[in-house]
């Protein structure tokens, strides 16, 4: 019996999204900066990455590859 059968596909899908977002945020914060200045996290740069057309399309079509 799979998790989709036990919990429902909506719950499993939401859990995968939450884990992916947590992994992305952890990776974004953990990657060392290349410059030597101690600038704080810039939300403008983060929004450029999140709303990048190529990244959105790859993520969208990658979601279609999920099978159960």
Domain range for 46 is 3-63
> Does a structural domain hold residue 68?
no
Instruction: Name the 3-class secondary structure at 54.
Output: helix
pTM of the model: 0.45
Range from 5-14, 38-47, 57-66 carrying the lowest mean pLDDT: 38-47
In terms of Cβ atoms closer than 10 Å to its own Cβ (0-12, 13-18, 19+), residue 12 is middle
* Percentage with pLDDT > 90 across the chain: 13
The per-residue pLDDT for range 29-56, each reduced to its tens digit, is 887 766 655 566 677 877 888 888 998 8
Higher per-residue confidence, 65 vs 68: 65
Structurally, the chain folds into a number of domains equal to 1
Q: What is the pLDDT of residue 34?
A: 65
> Does a structural domain hold residue 50?
yes
* Cα torsion through 17, 43, 58, 29, rounded to 10: -60
């Amino acid at each position: 019996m799979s998790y989709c059968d036990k919990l429902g596909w909506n719950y499993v899908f939401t859990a995968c999204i939450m884990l992916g977002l947590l992994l992305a945020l952890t990776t974004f914060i953990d990657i060392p900066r290349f410059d030597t200045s101690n600038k704080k996290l810039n939300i403008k740069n983060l929004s450029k990455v999140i709303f990048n057309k190529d990244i959105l399309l790859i993520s969208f079509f990658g979601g279609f590859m999920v099978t159960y």
